[in-house]
Amino acid sequence: MLKTVLLATSLIATSATPASAKPQKPSQPAATRNSTVQGSTPYAQREDAMQFADDLAARRGLDREWVRQAVGQARFLGGVPKLMLPPASGTAKNWRVYRSRFIDPIRIRAGVRFWQEHREALARAEQEYGVPAEIIVGIIGVETIYGQQMGSFRVMDALATLAFDFPAAHPRAKERTEFFRRELEQWLSLANRTNIDPFEVKGSYAGAMGLGQFMPSSWARFAVDFDGDSRIDLFKSPTDAIGSVANYFKGHGWTTGMPTHFAVQFDPATLKLDELLAPDILPTFSAASMQAKGGVLEAAGAQHTGPMALVELQNGGDTPTYVVGTENFYAITRYNWSSYYAMAVIELGREVAAARATTTAK
């Protein structure tokens, strides 16, 4: 069994301290050392942030002053809350445009290189976790173009901003605020446990990190030491990133050998489109019940024994694209709650696999 370590990257730590060890207070945190940090007001001036720090320290058994120092020196990133807002009402989704952002010659060529360089790790991950290499390649390609774009925001600032200043205009503001507060708690717990400065790590504006853009809770639960060097490095070890992405999907119900989706057509005489779309991307219908509501499945889909969902991908003002997603399609959406994202991952992986096959055959 692979030894799972909570967090240690070559950028931020060399060894982990035991969970029972007394936390080390950074004598001169990066927030103080760097006079050109992003953001403006430090959260030390916010009573709610300091109360959160006190509660976190008590709940997790962490050094109160260390936690207050970390939370207090985090800075508000003014542009980040706007990035969390959904598109303006009336903005048409467009699968073709969305797809073009992720499936292009540059990303495909980078994917072929990544697969060639790490083919042994990908093959081992597929064998051990049952997740196809092309799905893993699709995820890492969509997320960071194989490590080229891992984010430039200090994770501590990003998480604090979204924990304490998530935009109230968001339709799920309360739920998302609680999510980011949990992620901030996870991040500080990981930083404390591994004795690192929580301000040194950079990631996305939402606080995601590494080649696969893991949030702190996903790092704690699913990151694995897949290269066997007794530490986890999702920034500079593609092998660790590959194993961790595969482990993430296995932990979210990936079923080995199951297709992600099937083609579908409609029988206008029996079609009950609203009923088929009502569960959204949650697999709900059997093949028989879907076909009874007018969803005509291809042969493989008609024989599928698990639940399925009708997935609608809008194309602006044109006719939407429809597919029938399986539980494995749904598993991909656990990485990012979007059917558009899941299809981009699937199709990028397939395009890379096809390009690689062509390259290998030459």
Q: What is the pLDDT of residues 46-62, one digit of tens each?
A: 999 999 999 999 999 99
Please choose, from the candidates 143, 46, 180, the residue with its C-alpha nearest in 3D space to the C-alpha of residue 338.
143
In which residue are the tokens 């920034």 written?
A: 235
Q: From CA 261, how far away is CA 54, in angstroms rounded?
A: 47
143 is catalytic: yes
* pLDDT number for residue 362: 64
**H or E segment to which residue 34 belongs:** none
Over residues 180-235, the pLDDT tens digits come to 999 999 999 999 988 889 999 999 999 999 999 999 999 999 999 999 999 999 99
DSSP state of 318: E
Mean model confidence pLDDT for the chain: 89
Q: Give the separation between CA 72 and CA 182, rounded to whole angstroms.
A: 17
User: What CATH number has the domain spanning 34-76+152-208?
Assistant: 1.10.8.350
More confident residue, 205 or 362: 205
Place of tokens 């296995």: 250
Q: How far is CA 141 from CA 152, 237, 244, 344, in A?
A: 18, 15, 15, 10
pTM over 0.75: yes
What is the tens place of the pLDDT at every residue in 289-307? 999 999 999 999 999 999 9
Task: Phi first, then psi: give them for residue 219, nearest 5 degrees.
Answer: -60, -45
The per-residue pLDDT for 12 is 36
Question: For the residues 71-96, what does the mean pLDDT come to?
Answer: 91
**Mean per-residue pLDDT, 341-362:** 93
Domain boundaries, given as residue ranges, for the chain: 34-76+152-208, 261-325
Rounded distance, CA 335 to CA 333, Å? 5
**Count of CB atoms within 10 A of residue 295's CB?**
25
Comparing 18-27, 191-200, 231-240, the range with the smallest average pLDDT is 18-27
Mean pLDDT calculated for residue range 241-267 = 98
Judged against a pLDDT cut of 90, whether residue 335 lies above it is answered with: yes
Give first-to-last CA distance, the chain, whole Å.
38
In angstroms, rounded to a whole number, what is the distance separating the alpha carbons of residues 328 and 258? 7
Per the residue annotation, which of 143, 200, 327, 351 is the catalytic one? 143
Element (H, E) at 262: strand 261-266
